[in-house]
Amino acid sequence: MLRVDINSPIDPKTGTILDDTRIRKCAPTIEELCEMGAKVVVLAHQSRPGKDDFTSLEMHARLLDKYVEANVTFVDDVLGPSAREAIKELGRGEVLVLDNVRLYSEEQINAPPKVHAKSFLVRKLSPLCDYFVNDAFGAAHRSHASIVGFTSVLPSAMGRLMEKEMEALSKIERGERPRTFVVGGAKIDTKLRLVEHLLLSGKADRVLVGGLVGLLLLKAKGVKLGEKTEKTLKKFAQYEAQAKRIVEIGKGRLYLPSDIAYDDEGKRAEALIEELPVDGPILDIGINTMALFSKFIEGSATVVANGPMGVFERWEFSTGTNEILMAMARCDGYTVIGGGELGTAASFLGLEGEVDHISTGGGAMLAYLSGDKLPAIEALRESAKLFG
């Protein structure tokens, strides 16, 4: 039983997969298992119930078939008779992709491994398998049945992608200094928690912040941003005290934008922080901030970036994000991009070979760097104690 993370962006108009990076990245583990003569049963998810991109894994299986030499088949069932019969009929060196595991209602419940070991998913499928391999780093921060449930009942191991991701995290933790972390994006709760942990733990020599989280920290410093931007930030009022605390503890190590770019009637315009507020919404960092952040990045021995500097989906406001990524490509130190939107932007710029590691799991990486233990890894450790 191989758990992978092939959760992919779906075009809302055509229903097709826009980026198959995660599908490509899990192929080496599958190839290696097939070469060993294993019968490989793939368990994975796509989005979650209620979202527009919640769909079957049939097209994921077709794409996977392009990237592995083994025969890949799909069954539109997760744990019912059709799935179990297809597993029994599987030949050595063949691959079977089960349907979206989140079609199974109990999958998204967070619970310990021993609780999930009693779930229908594990009780129905584990008797048909000899081993469990977890290669789903992108879901490693979830304590779901398909992530941790099999580890209590089957000898378990991590796959090659998970191994590579954990090696990258280890290199970050023991990385040479100066260590620079670049934090952006719009996930205020998780990003603030990351910034605070990096500053309090001493893991970071510099934390460079852009995106919506950077704007919230500027507001915490008393900067008047403008009506439209502050209206957006109102929904994050519960984080104001934390933001002020971060600004206080970050003196000398926390760097916020010194200038910004905003939407001026559909066009990009820039302003220094001293020139704020502005009428239009702030959507990127400015040119002076790009230059300073790039200088810090290029002079660092370890650089980790998680989240874009602005609304990079609009080309006129992608400059800040692109400049940060190109500075990472020029850096001689160890460089890591935390997947997600930033990984997509790096791929678009053709920088995949210029950066040391692009993670397939932004959320899992974020959790780990914030000081959390990853349930998937903890479950594998416990399984090793049980089965050796």
Phi, psi values for residue 333, rounded to 5°: -85, -170
Report CA Rg, the chain. 22
> SS3 of 108, please?
helix
Quick one: pLDDT at residue 165? 97
Question: pLDDT tens digits for 136-147?
Answer: 999 999 999 999
Q: State the sign of the Cα–Cα–Cα–Cα dihedral 149, 154, 159, 164.
A: positive
What percent of the chain is predicted at pLDDT more than 90?
Answer: 92
For residues 312-323, b (16+ Cβ closer than 10 Å) or e, as one string? beeeebbbbbbb
> Helix 21-35 crosses helix 160-173 at what angle (to 10 degrees)?
120
pLDDT, the chain, mean: 96
* Identity of residue 268: R
Quick one: pLDDT at residue 297? 98
Label residue 345 by pLDDT band (50, 70, 90): confident
Taking residues 29-47, what's their average pLDDT? 97
Quick one: pLDDT at residue 339? 72
Quick one: pLDDT at residue 269? 98
Question: pLDDT tens digits for 86-128?
Answer: 999 999 999 999 999 999 999 999 999 999 999 999 999 999 9
Helix ranges restricted to H, 19-159 = 21-35, 58-67, 81-88, 113-116, 120-125
Nearest to 195 by CA among 32, 388, 370: 370
Domains and CATH numbers, the chain: 2-159+375-387 (3.40.50.1260), 177-332 (3.40.50.1260)
| Res. 340: pLDDT tops 80 | no
Helix ranges restricted to H, 155-239 = 160-173, 188-201, 211-220, 227-233
